Amino acid sequence: MRKNNKPGQGGFVFSTDPDYRPNDFDDTPVEAPPPASQNLRIWLERIKGGKEATVIKGYAGPDEELEALAKMLKNKCATGGNAKDGIIIIQGDHRDKVLKILIDLGYSKTKKAGG
């Protein structure tokens, strides 16, 4: 391995343009569309060991609101899970309960999907 090509140094790019702003660092805040206009889909996925997980896909909005929604759903279902990249995963089969909660919160275009 060459000395100047060490892993972990990243892809540093130098620019002489004083107005240069890389696209990766967009500082504009992401606003979530209103809940009534979001198309959420609730799936049941089976993972290793025959375990089931309720997956909510299609959320568009900031990660902070996604985390808050996931935390509220996990508390209402009394189970664990996580949220990232617009996807909320709840441990266990809670599709009916999650659907009712989301519709009560104003996510009127929410549907069960995947059979």
pLDDT at position 18 is 77
Domain residue limits, the chain:
33-112
Give the CATH class of 33-112.
Answer: alpha beta
pLDDT digits (tens, 9 = 90+) for 57-110: 999 988 999 999 999 999 999 999 999 999 999 999 999 999 999 999 999 999
pLDDT digits (tens, 9 = 90+) for 18-62: 777 666 555 666 677 888 899 999 999 998 888 999 999 999 988
> Do 60 and 34 contact (CB within 8 A), yes or no?
no
Could you write out the three-class secondary structure of 33-61?
CCHHHCCCEEEEEECHHHCEEEEEECCCC
pLDDT at position 56 is 95
pLDDT at position 16 is 76
